[in-house]
């Protein structure tokens, strides 16, 4: 079956997600997390922006946006920020390991 005939709901473009970069304002709109809180999480090294220069607009990749959403969900369920961040860190590590294994199998 050619790619044009595949169901778009079933396909997942990892390359696109790796290249996706969004500004802090857009991240706030997407996630519902205030920009002030996003900056705080970055100051605590829970997430990291792709911006290297001080004073430049903060930009985030898919991985960090997903991390923010997971942390927010856990905090909404009653976790503290530190507990949520630790749980998400472990979950993200497991996902990365799984993706590496899947990538190796495809090669």
Beta bridge partners of 21: 61
Helices (H), the chain: 14-19, 24-31, 35-43, 62-76, 81-106
> Between β-strands 21-23 and 59-61, what pairing exists: parallel, antiparallel or unpaired?
antiparallel
What percentage of the chain reaches a pLDDT higher than 70? 81
| Average pLDDT of the segment spanning 8-13 | 58
Segment 53-89, tens digit of pLDDT:
666 788 999 889 999 999 999 999 999 999 999 999 9
CATH number of 19-106: 1.10.1660.10
Quote the pTM value. 0.74
Average pLDDT over the chain reads 85
Over residues 18-41, the pLDDT tens digits come to: 778 999 999 999 999 999 999 999
Domain residue spans of the chain: 19-106
């Amino acid at each position: 079956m050619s790619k044009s005939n595949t169901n778009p709901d079933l396909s997942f473009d990892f390359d696109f997600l790796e290249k996706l970069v969004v500004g802090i304002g857009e991240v706030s709109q997407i996630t519902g997390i205030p920009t002030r809180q996003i900056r705080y999480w970055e100051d605590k090294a829970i997430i990291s922006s792709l911006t290297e220069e001080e004073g430049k607009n903060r930009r985030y990749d898919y991985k960090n946006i997903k991390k923010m959403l997971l942390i927010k969900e856990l905090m909404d369920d009653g976790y503290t920020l530190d507990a949520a961040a630790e749980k998400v860190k472990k979950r993200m590590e497991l996902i990365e390991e799984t993706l590496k294994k899947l990538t190796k199998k495809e090669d």
